[in-house]
Amino acid sequence: MERRRAVITGIGCITPVGHGAAGLWEGVLKGESKVRRIDRFDAAAYRTQVAAQVTDFDAGSELGRTANQRMDRFSQFALSAAGQALHDAGLAPKELAGERVGVFVGSALGGAGYAEDEHTSYLAGGLRAVSPGLALSVFGGAAGCNIAIHYGFCGPNETNSMSCAAGAVAIGRALQAVRYGEADIVLAGGAEAPLAPLCYGAFAVIRAMSTRNEEPEAACRPFDADRDGFVMGEGAAVLVIEERQAALRRGARVYAELVGYGSSNDAYHMSAPRPDGVQASRAMLGAMADAALAPDDVGYVNAHGSSTPLGDAAEAVAVRRALGAAAWRTPISGTKGLYGHPLGASGAIEAAITAMALHHGSLPGTCNLREVDRRIDLPVLREGLDRRVRWALSNSIGFGGINACLAFARA
């Protein structure tokens, strides 16, 4: 089959550090953490009390009253990001052949946070107190289906819930769909709205999150010697991924080319990564092979960098395995110190950041990195670095042993 090329022509996002492509990039360059004490609910009884919240999103003004009423927060995030991405790409949805436009979304928890809110209503007032839209809002595919219905996109529509790699997996599938002719344009990304008492508490109970409650801005610190866990966040990112020749014919601005995708499973543990990094490295090697890249070609790695003691150390081992001697001369950074870890949305947000890093010729630093853990043994960027590189990788690693890697080329 003909192997077509896929490019990123639009970016939309809702994040704690900024909305839209410009807002997200401005937040990355500013380099200030938006992690704060959580105020979405009373977390006084929790050992962890910090989060990265989106505080400036008004669904009513963003989407209109009707859309706002029929969707929960994770779908609202996704639909808003999709609209931004289409606008950023210069695409008018009504002028597109809807059958040739696909939608691929990743979300670890889908509408679980909304279901939790409605369960509280049910306990207080019985079934009559429950929203009639509950059943249509909480299932994982709701975000992608709402995007398709809103814009009339009848192409392939898929949702995956592969934990913290879900957004990257969705983008990887989008590459395959464009490459092999399933669709000409795909809106792909991830969305997550997990900041509800039980969803949040479930991760606090297993002691996966930081307890730096008195210094929330410094709680998420990828690769730092003093890291103590991840910080939960929320948000969404959607990319417009388009067949290259069609994008060039219409004069589209191209952020980057999406050139490779690899995935694997540790088959080891539901929450702990394989310490030897062998399967995470295999995902990286798969993306590099898909893109026909050698280790020396890779100019930057955007790490998953969750800020967990085990996760960051295992990822560093994987990077060294995949890149070999080139690992010690390849800049790497983790950006979750800025916006926390929005679970299934993180891979999509970081794909957007990686594409913009190539586009702008500027590699992001690692917020809150004071002293690199000696076990990391990689050239982790503390500060941003102005450097034009040709190829980059973005890693996503999730609970359940899921590993995904995306490869990008400068346009």
Return the active site residues: 164, 304, 341
SS3 assignment, position 239: strand
Backbone φ and ψ for 28, nearest 5 degrees, come out as -65, -45
Burial of 94 (C-beta count, 10 Å sphere; 0-12/13-18/19+): exposed
SS3 assignment, position 144: helix
315 contacts: CB under 8 Å, gap ≥ 6 = 273, 277, 280, 303, 304, 305, 395, 397
172 contacts: CB under 8 Å, gap ≥ 6 = 261, 262, 263, 404, 406
323-360-106-172 Cα dihedral, nearest 10 degrees: -50
Report the alpha-carbon distance of residue 190 to residue 110 in Å, rounded.
10
Going through 181-269 in order, the beta strands assigned E by DSSP cover: 185-192, 235-243, 256-265
What one-character-per-residue DSSP string does 302-336 give?
E------HHHHHHHHHHHHHHHGGGGGGS-EE--H
